[in-house]
Structure 1
């Protein structure tokens, strides 16, 4: 599994990167797998990496329309 090397920003020693969630629910960073959730398989997530931690951010737009019942 190979991760993206796309870097969006670097600020205060924190890098913001993009990773795609595998079918098994993992993302890869520097050859290490981190489990997120299978529910997000195929989605791209933002990760923020500092010297101390890796933070996963998911913004998932949800749109569903329902017919109103009378």
Structure 2
């Protein structure tokens, strides 16, 4: 199944994988928190002839989110 591109179009010569690793803070941040710190997420998509074939993502666990879980609370996954 091809994934729709909502705005514009991808060039037909695009083929390969696009991977992005970055921040993915759970929930709303407090004023003393920075969105670069804490949990992250790896995003990936497969491109073939300018079409998106699949999209996948995986959350990255940090020491802070592991402590949060060990207290019996579940980290918020978006």
Q: Normalising TM by the smaller chain, what interval?
A: 0.3 to 0.5
> Which structure is higher in helix share?
2
The structure having more radius of gyration, on CA atoms, is 2
Normalised to the residue count of structure 1, the TM-score between the two structures is 0.36
The structure showing larger relative contact order (alpha-carbon pairs under 8 Å, at least 6 residues apart) is 2
Normalised to the residue count of structure 2, the TM-score between the two structures is 0.33
